[in-house]
Structure 1
Amino acid sequence: MAMLMLRGALGLLKWALVAVGAVALIFTALIATPLQRPPELRSVSDSVKGIDFSRQVPLEQFQARDGTWLGYRHYAPKGPATGRGAIFIHGSSGSSGTINFVLTAAMAAHGVETWALDMRGHGASGTRGDIGYVGQLEDDLVDFVAHVRKSAPDLPLTLVGHSAGAGFSLRIAATPIIQDLFVRTVLVAPYLGYDAPTNVEHSGGWANPDIPRILALTALRKLGIDCCAQLPVLAFAVPVNSEAILTPVYSDRLMRNFATRGYRLDLPAVTHPMTIFGGTEDEMMISGKYAEAVQAIKPDIDVKLIEGVNHMGMVTNPKAVNAIAEDVATRGANQS
């Protein structure tokens, strides 16, 4: 009997040591795989050429529930007001102060009162490249809508997102209660998640994930160890010395929050009208597969492709910008 008990104890000790060894290997992966920033992606960097930044409105701030001041820009409607409003969510690395203001200014020019938010971890909002917890971006957006409602209590709001911001907008459109803050959602060149058929590998050279570190953090969470989420796991192909304007890397928790949960998971939960715009020359996304991917799950989603426009052109090219602005200005108040 004593020998059996001893053997049992030794067996348990062996498996305990194996578990400790596995966790040690995971932590080694966290430390031993430094994140590599990809070389500058010229198609993104060159998109600033010829942009007139004098049309950009000044940065404002509001205070989120945790006391942090977050940045945004407010574009008052020009010309006849449509009685519609829009909140714009920028893409990865960007902010309200980058070139996507061409689209937000265009929506205002079409009579749509428009707000562009610096998502926490970007621009003038919080710690660059990081957030406090997964779910904080949703909390921030709820707080921002409450701030907007102080001056526009009854304005129908459309949520408009570009690229990663479009993925986050899909996340919002699928989130109970929060989804009802918006009458409609417009996704511009959306990143639909790592498993979407619309992805170009590494987003065409724009993004470089630290796969070993991501897998290690995922394994730790499955073991009930929720730590190290502040570690950087995703780097972008931004120009050297551009950190004052752009966010070069994301922490694990920012990467997980500033995205869809997965288009197959989120799309069935969408309850309000949604439109997707893509450019046929998008070097980061395979726009021709948007309709097939999303309409197989939710057939009533509109998908519109703009000929001859690349990823950043969707927020700067006059043809794309005017089409999106016209769509936001004419839909969403009393029709789908």
Structure 2
Amino acid sequence: MTRWMRHLTYGLGILIVVVAGALAAAIAFDSPSAPPVLAAGNTIPGIAQWNFAELPKAQSVKARDGAPLNYRLYPGRADRAIVLVHGSTGSGTEMLKLAQALQAAGATVYAISLRGHGGSGTRNGDVSYRGQLDDDLADLVKGVGIDKQGIHRTLAGFSSGGGFVLRVAGGPQAGLFDDYLAISPYIGPDSPTSKPDSGGWAGVALPRIVALSLLDGIGLPWFQGLPAIHFATQAKADDRRTPVYSFRLMASLQLGMDWRAVLARIKAPTQIVVGADDELFHADQFQPMMQAINPRIGVTVVPGHGHLGMIADPAAVSAVAAAWRRMADR
């Protein structure tokens, strides 16, 4: 071996060690910090006045791994089913007012708690592998019996749950539902709709996320149960709240780095509804962005409403229900 080849080999070896060390340090020592509490993402307007006696009893079906998948049922028309997904840190409980509005519009609503939230799954803030939420969704549809012919199925979701709705609509399980409704959806950190750190709602362990993404990209799904996001809430982890997400839960919810391609693949009827005064997202950017990427996706901006108001304020939830009716009645 010539001298220059030995030098090159040594240099590459040193580079590999340095890179491996940097990745290991990012994974081991970086962690998401808790941002200051953000009321616009943490506190639902008017929730203190809600009558929780109206909240349906929690029910569950078993996922393929035997874990419980919890939901609350709002009965309506047997041939119109909506699976309703909550936002980040929440559970099906907080969807009470929106579920009631959709029920009043004629739907049977299943307000679910995603795995890692609201007692679903086995660990608060975590899943067992990337993509498990997609498998859970298929298990839930079958488990509650809405996989039958003659039932019009809608997947609806709010905030991070709205992003999950769009992920499913543009993914391999798009055929599970007839149409999709995304309320104030999170698209991605580099989307023109996103304010920095989602308006202060998310504290992100960026070096850890980058390192784990690189490992995942070469087929090594290691250490993905480590925390990746801490949301701007003082809430503790329990059956109502999930303040911290693991890397694999975060990745299972989001559209991913290729979010433009995911949105472009959506073919089923899909509507986005967002409040004009959203504190986490740029509401005025949804329409031009969708027009450029996939003009089949409709956008409705509701004047005078912020982020959490879209699942709580009577006028806002009525606007969401009206958007569903227009889509479902086509």
For the criterion TM > 0.5, the same-fold answer is: yes
The separation in 1 between residues aligned to 2:177 and 2:36, in whole angstroms, is 38
User: Which aligned pairs between 1:1-336 and structure 2 lie closer than 5 A?
Assistant: 4=1, 8-9=5-6, 11-47=8-44, 48-77=47-76, 81=77, 83-97=79-93, 99-126=94-121, 127-149=123-145, 153-176=149-172, 178-241=173-236, 243-261=238-256, 262-332=258-328, 335=330
> RMSD of aligned C-alpha atoms?
1.9
CA spacing shift, 1:155–1:43, aligned 2, 3 Å: same
- Measured after TM superposition, the shift of residue 44 of structure 1 is 3.4
The separation in 2 between residues aligned to 1:301 and 1:241, in whole angstroms, is 37
The separation in 1 between residues aligned to 2:42 and 2:171, in whole angstroms, is 34
CA spacing shift, 1:173–1:125, aligned 2, 3 Å: same
Secondary structure at the counterpart of residue 175 of structure 2: helix
Structure 1 stretch 266-275 or stretch 17-26: which is displaced more? Answer: 17-26
**Higher radius of gyration, 1 or 2:** 1
Secondary structure at the counterpart of residue 331 of structure 1: helix
Cα offsets for 1:116-146 (capped at 9, x unmatched): 1111111111111111111111100011111
Q: Size of the alignment, in residue pairs?
A: 326
Contact 1:279 1:310 in 2 (8 A): yes
The separation in 2 between residues aligned to 1:194 and 1:214, in whole angstroms, is 13
Contact 1:166 1:190 in 2 (8 A): yes
CA spacing shift, 1:136–1:254, aligned 2, 3 Å: same
Moved over 4 A (4+): 150-153
Cα offsets for 1:21-53 (capped at 9, x unmatched): 210121112222232111221223432332222
CA spacing shift, 1:13–1:223, aligned 2, 3 Å: farther
Secondary structure at the counterpart of residue 87 of structure 1: strand
Contact 1:276 1:301 in 2 (8 A): yes
Contact 1:203 1:284 in 2 (8 A): yes
CA spacing shift, 1:240–1:60, aligned 2, 3 Å: closer
Secondary structure at the counterpart of residue 108 of structure 1: helix
Secondary structure at the counterpart of residue 293 of structure 2: coil
Contact 1:82 1:329 in 2 (8 A): no
The separation in 2 between residues aligned to 1:318 and 1:277, in whole angstroms, is 15
CA spacing shift, 1:278–1:120, aligned 2, 3 Å: same
Relative to the length of structure 2, the TM-score reads 0.92
- Measured after TM superposition, the shift of residue 7 of structure 1 is 6.0
Relative to the length of structure 1, the TM-score reads 0.91
- Measured after TM superposition, the shift of residue 223 of structure 1 is 4.9
Q: Tell me which amino acid in the other structure corresponds to 2:194.
A: N
CA spacing shift, 1:40–1:65, aligned 2, 3 Å: same
CA spacing shift, 1:68–1:132, aligned 2, 3 Å: same
Q: Tell me which amino acid in the other structure corresponds to 1:72.
A: Y
Same amino acid, percent of matched pairs: 33
The separation in 2 between residues aligned to 1:229 and 1:146, in whole angstroms, is 28
The separation in 1 between residues aligned to 2:316 and 2:7, in whole angstroms, is 68
Contact 1:40 1:240 in 2 (8 A): no
CA spacing shift, 1:12–1:84, aligned 2, 3 Å: same
CA spacing shift, 1:216–1:104, aligned 2, 3 Å: same
Q: Tell me which amino acid in the other structure corresponds to 2:189.
A: Y
Q: Tell me which amino acid in the other structure corresponds to 1:187.
A: A
- Measured after TM superposition, the shift of residue 244 of structure 1 is 4.4
Contact 2:160 2:186 in 1 (8 A): yes
